[in-house]
Amino acid sequence: MSIEALFKLHEGLPRGGPGSNQSTSEAIRRLPALPAAPRILDIGCGPGQQTVVLARELHGRTTAIDVYPPFLEACRTEAQRAGVDSLIEVRDLSMDAMDFELESFDLIWSEGAVFILGVEAALRLWRPFLKPGAIIAFTEATWLTEDPPAEAKEYWAQGYPVMATAEANEATAKTLGYEALDRFILPASDWTDEYYAPLKERMDQTSDSADPDMAATIAEALREIEIFERYGDSYGYVFYILRKSA
């Protein structure tokens, strides 16, 4: 399985991971007061569902970055469709090579993308771009129990070995100069209805692919769905809201 095949499998889907517009709005509702017209950075924007919600609800100048051109084009199209394209700048830029002015953002947002770097590396790399006292909000795959089932633990030890509990993630954030403000668990429907249902439909359409890399990617996605169906009460996506400490 390659990242290219994974991107291709998700091309044209509404989102690249668990989430929903409702969960984005709920996280926005939980934010502390922001400046009028805040400067926002959406890291790993994908096709832009949450980017549009951010621009529409916060009325701030939003910069959305990703590295896969079809996702960037989908984000632009979504912004135009929603009538907020004047508020959104879309850039082809890697999350670990950002060239923004330091301390230039009031809010950094990232849904379903922190796993690419891991919590510790992401929070360390992105902190310099936040203004003093600014906010970072992100979703992250998280253990919901200290003692997960063996099969789930074994699966994620291969797929994402740094997955931790919410308490551990917040402790990591504290050591890196953040204050934990709030968190909530995304509902199971953000996985099953919003993400897996469209993905299953896409895999059904692509299952006869002669590309062995795509076949391996589909097999891995099906295994992920199977694990969630069995053990989804032991892990989930958590929305974290942190403040950059002074």
| Domain CATH code at residue 187 | 3.40.50.150
**Per-residue pLDDT at 189:** 98
Do the domain assignments include residue 66?
yes
Range 173-200 average pLDDT: 98
Q: How many domains does the chain have?
A: 1
In the predicted structure, residue 172 carries a pLDDT above the cut 70 = yes
Which residues have CB under 8 Å from 47's CB, separation 6+?
Answer: 13, 14, 15, 16, 71, 74, 75, 78
Q: What is the pLDDT of residue 26?
A: 99
6 found inside a domain: no
Q: At what angle do helices 3-10 and 212-231 cross, to 10 degrees?
A: 70
**pLDDT band with cut points at 50, 70 and 90 for residue 53:** very high
State which amino acid sits at residue 90: V
More confident residue, 208 or 109: 109
Q: What is the per-residue pLDDT across 140-166, written as a single tens digit (0 to 9) for each? A: 999 999 999 999 999 999 999 999 999
Would you say residue 198 lies in a domain? no
- Give a yes or no: residue 33 inside a domain: yes
Least confident span in 126-135, 172-181, 199-208:
199-208
Residue 162 lies in a domain: yes
Query: What confidence score (pLDDT) does residue 8 get?
Result: 92
pLDDT score of 206? 82
Q: Has residue 217 been placed in a domain?
A: no
In a domain, 225, yes or no: no
What's the domain range around 33? 16-193+234-244
Q: Is residue 212 part of a domain?
A: no
Q: What's the rounded mean pLDDT across residues 43-63?
A: 98
pLDDT tier for residue 208 given thresholds of 50, 70 and 90: low
113-138 mean pLDDT = 98
